[in-house]
Amino acid sequence: MNALAIAQFEQLKDQALIIDTRQTAAFSEGFVPGSVSLGLGNHFVEWISALIPENTPLLIVAEEEDLEDTYEALETLGYTQVKGHLEGGLSAWRAAGKRIDMLIDVTAEELALDLPFDPKLMLVDVRSVEEFDRGHVKNAENFPLTQIIDPLQIAQLDEDSNIYVYCGGGYRSVVACSIMKKEGFHNIRNILGGFDELRTTDNIPLEMPKKK
Tens place of pLDDT per residue across the chain (212 aa) = 899 999 999 999 999 999 999 999 999 999 999 999 999 998 999 999 999 999 999 999 999 999 999 999 999 999 999 999 999 999 999 999 999 999 999 999 999 999 999 999 999 999 999 999 999 999 999 999 998 888 888 888 888 899 999 999 999 999 999 999 999 898 999 999 999 999 999 999 999 886 65
Together in a domain, 108 and 203: yes
CA–CA distance, 172 with 178 (Å, rounded to integer): 10
Strand order of the sheet with strand 58-61? Answer: 3-4, 82-86, 58-61, 17-20, 36-37
From CA 71, how far away is CA 24, in angstroms rounded? 19
d(CA 14, CA 112): 39
> Residue 20's closest CA among 95, 102, 127?
102
User: In total, how many domains does the chain have?
Assistant: 2
Phi, psi (degrees; rounded to nearest 5) at 82: -80, 115
Is-above-0.75 flag for pTM?
Answer: yes
Query: Per the domain annotation, does 212 fall within a domain?
Result: no
Q: Are residues 156 and 201 located together in one domain of the fold?
A: yes
Listed residues 60, 95, 130: the one ending a domain: 95
